[in-house]
Amino acid sequence: MCGPEDIKGIVEAGSHVLSGSSKFIDSLCRIRPGLAIASEARGIASANDVLLDAMEETVRRCRKMGFSESATTGMCMRLANEFSKSENLSSCLSFAQEMVGSDYDASGIDHGWFIRWSDGAAEQTDNEMCVIWGKLLAGELDQPGSYSKRTMSVLADMSAHEASLFANLCSTSIYVKSRGVKTLFAVLADDVLGGDTFNGELLSITDLDDLAAIGLITTSTWTSQGLPGKTSYTLELDDRSAVITNPNEDCKAFVFSHMRYLQEGMELASLCEIGTFNRLKEAIDKVVTRAGLAIEWTDHSR
């Protein structure tokens, strides 16, 4: 049965409870009544007291009804699990509130979408994953329809390790501007031509297979850029541009990577830091020059 030390351990394992009341939280509570948010006056210590009291009451009632010790333990663990989910959800909500502000009115969000979001957020125990779920909610509030329920399902199934791999992929990706449309490409230069690791072992073929398996990318198709002989192509990035020139008589093509983002990957990539890999320019140079092309950079940030 759940003894005092067991209950104490469960409570101390809790992480973060969103404190205080705000227009943001109140508007979401109207959509889903019962969101477990601790008041600022009570804080996390009082929230723990609430759990302790609930545990003691559960044990008392189970004994009164003649439940077995195993059944009583199961009831206690179920209660602790629900409390833990409430803390997880509160943590994700707190990150979202930091981004949109406590005075934000979230009542316009699609109710079905928010319920699906809160179910997924309640399962997150890793702090970095809570940040991602917070960004997801903030992004959907900023631009409704940005994130599909399918994308949330993919995110809900991601492990912290898979999220880390995806963040690495995003860090070595670029938005390529063409005719007013931006498309996301990952720049993956083989460490050894024909090898199975890329960009100084930032990622491997196995890593890409893992991301493909959960539905973020595909390795079966990709997009290449062909350049006829003696022509140039301007690669426009946010802070710099590069003129890629084909000095040859025949057409040459280059492929940034043999993979392509799927829609779910594109949506989740917007939550990540794009193009922050410190050797990204080196990787682009390697991909282009290996194709027999020349490249010249112009920095627009100065």
Annotated domain spans of the chain: 4-157, 160-299
Question: Which of 60-64, 132-136, 296-300 is predicted least confidently?
Answer: 60-64
pLDDT on residue 262: 96
For residues 211 and 207, what is the distance between their CA atoms, to the nearest angstrom? 6
Q: Cα–Cα distance between 208 and 166 in angstroms, integer?
A: 9
Res 144: pLDDT: 95
pLDDT the model gives residue 45: 43
For 75-115, write each residue's pLDDT tens digit. Answer: 667 656 667 777 888 889 989 999 999 999 999 999 999 99
Is the pTM of the predicted complex or chain greater than 0.85? Answer: no
* Cα angle 174-177-183, degrees, rounded to a multiple of 5: 55
**Bridge partners, residue 174, by sequence:** 185
Question: Are 238 and 266 a contacting pair, CB within 8 Å?
Answer: no
pLDDT at 236 over 60: yes
**pLDDT 10s digits, 244-291:** 999 999 999 988 998 999 999 999 999 999 999 999 999 999 999 999
Residue 157 in tokens = 């199934």
Given this model, what pLDDT does residue 85 score? 78
Q: Which of 47, 58, 62, 59 lies closest to 17 in space, CA to CA? A: 47
pLDDT, position 49? 60
Least confident of 71-80, 130-139, 213-222, 243-252: 71-80
